[in-house]
Copies of this chain bind each other. A is one copy, B any other.
């Protein structure tokens, strides 16, 4: 009865390498008094992991070399000494890259799905990235029916949900993504009004054609030149939602800043950063709404699932290469 886990072996410089994470096998733990043992079934890969691995983020504790790498998982309670989480309960939390985790529900906070959901949705639409999209769009973007919403990394975990919520709330939604196939999925499967393949199209010309009256909300997951081009096309009183900057996560040095930032003055526009951690007190509201949309079919869970616990490092590298459509996750083969 073993417990595989991935520990941080080295801090990435530039691009993450698979060898930055190292497999270690230890004995499977047991649940102590008040604790539960959780079998992690699906593991979430998120761009924010890079900052943790680099030890650069100052808004939460960085990962330490030799520590089990933090990640969100969804799993099942297999041993319980805690009445709040009986055996068989479906739980979600930052349980880390390991087959089995132990918590009393406080040492590592967990969310208990009393009414179980499809595990990929628990990590995707209903998980951290779905809630990030929900709060970023509704609270920072503040959509009004008829708004033109542009989303970058639109086929990514957060972007794909942000764009769909924009549609539900009455926006005209334009996604920017990195392949013809991703653009097809955005339009055909998620109902986006238009999509731009930034690898083959002139993004500036496409934005001009698709947003002749300007962009009301730009939901930015990428930074770099796409942020800069969107700043140049803002409509009056536009909102720029700063969610991520994946275009520069692989760079060793800081890229150029957006030299069109002063258009925020001419357009009397707003550019605001946010983190999900500020909205945790409203998480139940978000989950309830997202789940209702998921069950009505208005919101589609889009996932790229790689099989096998030991694929975690490979999946993480692929995340930064834009391999995934929708939420990138690894399924523990030992289900």
A residues near B (Cβ < 8 Å) are: 57-59, 223, 228, 242-245, 248, 254-275, 278
Q: A264 contacts which of B242, B248, B262, B265 (Cβ < 8 Å)?
A: B242
Chain B residues contacting A248 (CB-CB under 8 Å) are 262
Most buried by B among A57, A244, A274, A278: A274
Chain B residues contacting A265 (CB-CB under 8 Å) are 242-245, 273-275
Asked if A257 meets B254 with Cβ closer than 8 Å, knowing A265-B274, A266-B59, the reply is no
Determine whether the beta carbon of A275 is less than 8 Å from that of B268.
yes
Determine whether the beta carbon of B259 is less than 8 Å from that of A261.
no
28 contacts between A and B (CB under 8 A): A59-B266, A223-B261, A223-B262, A242-B261, A242-B262, A242-B265, A243-B265, A245-B262, A245-B265, A248-B262, A254-B259, A255-B259, A256-B256, A256-B259, A257-B257, A257-B260, A261-B261, A261-B271, A262-B273, A264-B271, A265-B274, A267-B273, A269-B273, A270-B270, A270-B271, A270-B272, A271-B271, A271-B272
Distance A258 CA – B58 CA, assembled complex (angstroms): 20
Determine whether the beta carbon of A273 is less than 8 Å from that of B268.
yes
Chain B residues contacting A57 (CB-CB under 8 Å) are 266
Cβ-closest chain B residue relative to A278: B268
Chain B nearest Cβ from A280, distance in angstroms = 13
In order of increasing CB-CB distance, the 10 nearest A-B pairs are A257-B257, A265-B273, A264-B273, A257-B259, A257-B258, A270-B272, A271-B271, A254-B259, A59-B266, A242-B265
Given contacts A256-B257, A264-B273, 18 further A-B contacts (CB under 8 A): A58-B266, A242-B262, A242-B264, A244-B265, A254-B259, A254-B260, A256-B259, A258-B258, A261-B271, A263-B273, A264-B271, A264-B272, A265-B273, A266-B273, A268-B275, A268-B278, A269-B273, A272-B272
